[in-house]
Amino acid sequence: MIDLDLILLLFLVICAIAAVHMKDLLSATMILTAYSLIMALVWTNLNAVDVAFTEASVGAGITTVLVIAALSRTKRREED
Amino acid sequence: MQDNIILRTVTRILIPFIQLYGFYVIMHGESGPGGGFQGGVILGASIILYAIVFGIDQGRKIISEKLSDTLNSVGVLIYAGIGLICVLFGGKYLEYNILPLGSAHLASDMGILGIEIGVGITVASVMITIFFETARRER
């Protein structure tokens, strides 16, 4: 079996780089949510279920809502 | 989003199950994964979902500013109160098994459960407060 951990970490790095390089801030937020979800899978794979639970509920749930709520009060696109 | 009937119906059906799961996570914090913090976040997320779908003002009718401010401190009060009750019965701060509830094991379980409930109340209401304060419209 191919190492699941390696695939997840590869996705993690791709998501992190994509979130930094995205000009559309709403897309960046969504990619950050995907990053959090993959991170929760990594924690589960490391047998740290409690941390995975926290990561899934706080990282993927509440943080996304709060960042989008903050985004609604500013401009959606990054200027450069 | 107020006129989307699918969103409204699904939210109305889903919210009781989300809250039941949040209470389950709080109650089983000492024997399995989860606990006061995670359960509190799930409980807060159910109210936040309601406020997103039905509007901020409608959400503030369910949890008023006064109620969420009170719940913020009630959770801390429960946590500190259980700790101080342990001191009153002659133990250290948060030394549950000194509590007079029959066996020391039962007392420890009940003490941890009380702590989890206090943490859950505070975390849920703080999440709700942060969301409402961030999403509020400027007057």
pLDDT digits (tens, 9 = 90+) for B6-35: 999 999 999 999 999 999 999 988 788 888
Residue B126 in this model has a pLDDT that exceeds 90: yes
Quote the number of domains for chain A. 1
Question: Residue B136: pLDDT band by 50, 70, 90 thresholds?
Answer: confident
Q: Which chain B residues contact residue A36 at CB under 8 A?
A: none
ipTM: 0.82
Instruction: Specify the residue for token string 């450069």.
Output: A80
SS3 B129: helix
Give the count of domains, chain B: 1
C-alpha of A73 from chain center: 22
Question: Where does the pLDDT of residue B120 fall: very low under 50, low under 70, confident under 90, or very high at 90 and above?
Answer: very high
Per the structure, the complete domain to which residue A58 belongs is given by: 4-71
Helix (H) or strand (E) holding B82: helix B65-88
State the Cα–Cα distance between residues B130 and A23, nearest whole angstrom: 26
The per-residue b/e assignment along A27-65, b for 16 or more CB within 10 angstroms, e otherwise, is ebbbbbbbbbebbbbbbbeeeeeebbbbbbbbbbbbeeb
Q: Which residue in B has a C-alpha nearest to residue A48's C-alpha?
A: B33
Q: Give residue ranges of A with CB < 8 Å to any B CB.
A: 49-50, 52-54, 57-58, 61-62, 65-66, 69-70, 72-73
Mean pLDDT of A39-66: 91
**Dihedral sign computed on CA atoms, order A49, A52, A57, A61:** negative
A57 vs A50: CA distance, rounded Å: 11
Q: For position B1, what pLDDT does the model report? A: 62
Which range is least confidently modeled, A2-6, B5-9, B80-84?
A2-6
The answer, yes or no, to whether residue B2 has pLDDT greater than 90, is no
Q: What is the mean pLDDT of chain B?
A: 89
Using DSSP, state whether A72 is helix, strand or coil. Answer: coil
Average pLDDT, chain A: 89
Domain that holds residue B113: 5-135
Scan for tokens 């706080």, then name that residue: A58
> What pLDDT digit, counting tens, does each position of B37-75 carry?
999 999 999 999 999 899 888 888 988 999 999 999 999
Cβ–Cβ gap B131/A54 under 8 Å:
no
